[in-house]
Amino acid sequence: MKNKPTTYINDELSDEVLDKTHLEEREKLRSASRVSLDRLKSTFSEPEPTHIDSNNIEGTPNDEAWRTHTLSGSTSGFNGELTFQHRYIDGYLHFKTLTYRITRPSNQNSGNKANINIVIDNSAGQSVINSPDSMWQDGGTYPYQRETTMRIWDKWATIYVQFIFDKTQAADPRVTVSKQYYY
């Protein structure tokens, strides 16, 4: 087998080893397809501003504002509040919790193992968020970050919040509150 003459290419595009015939073909192609950047800059112009008809855009812009709401419930002297945000974008409900506050009755001295469980319901399904068994109930406002995104078909969702209060040596009282939202 006869050795063909080879050339090492080092042109910042490749470090290949090519025989002379392939190298000449490549150089012809490259020189034919290269255009000066200065020539391109002179032909480039900014597009003219146009009016966009928002009625012809499908979905909702991604910068739709978050809606902030607080749901609260009370039973047996306990009070619970959950503040959350939600928004609808392109067929999806985005939901995130922000803070919670639980207050126990003055005659209840201990117990900081409350729960806040959330169910988001829609004809497309449900999303469930359960808290750890460690929610404080001393009346302070605490950060609480949980997020979910779910597909919703018909632009509505019902958000259920269940507070399970921690009571020492007795059955834990619970209350569920809900609200339906339209998008």
pLDDT tens-digit series, residues 13-29: 455 566 777 667 656 65
Closest CA to 94 of 144, 178, 145, 152: 152
Q: ∠80-85-143 over CA atoms, to 5°? A: 55
Residue with tokens 């409350």: 114
Predicted confidence (pLDDT) at residue 144 exceeds the cutoff of 80: yes
Nearest to 75 by CA among 169, 178, 173, 179: 173
Tell me what pLDDT residue 32 has: 53
pLDDT band at 34 (very low <50, low <70, confident <90, very high): very low
Q: Averaged over 46-65, what is the pLDDT?
A: 51
pLDDT score for 62: 54
Every domain of the chain with CATH number 2.60.40.1470 lies at: 67-182
pLDDT of amino acid 83: 98
Higher pLDDT, 170 or 121: 121
Average pLDDT along the chain:
79
| Verdict on whether the full-model pTM lies above 0.75 | no
pLDDT at 12 over 80: no
| Distance in angstroms (rounded) separating the CA atoms of residues 165 and 173 | 6
pLDDT for the residue numbered 47: 45
Separation CA 142–CA 83 (nearest Å): 10
pLDDT for position 128: 96
- 85-138 pLDDT, tens digit per residue, is 999 999 999 999 999 999 999 887 777 899 999 999 998 899 999 999 999 999
Q: How far is CA 137 from CA 141, 142, 161, in A?
A: 9, 10, 16
Determine the pLDDT at residue 129: 96
Third-level CATH fold of 67-182: Immunoglobulin-like (2.60.40)
pLDDT at 37 (0 to 100)? 45
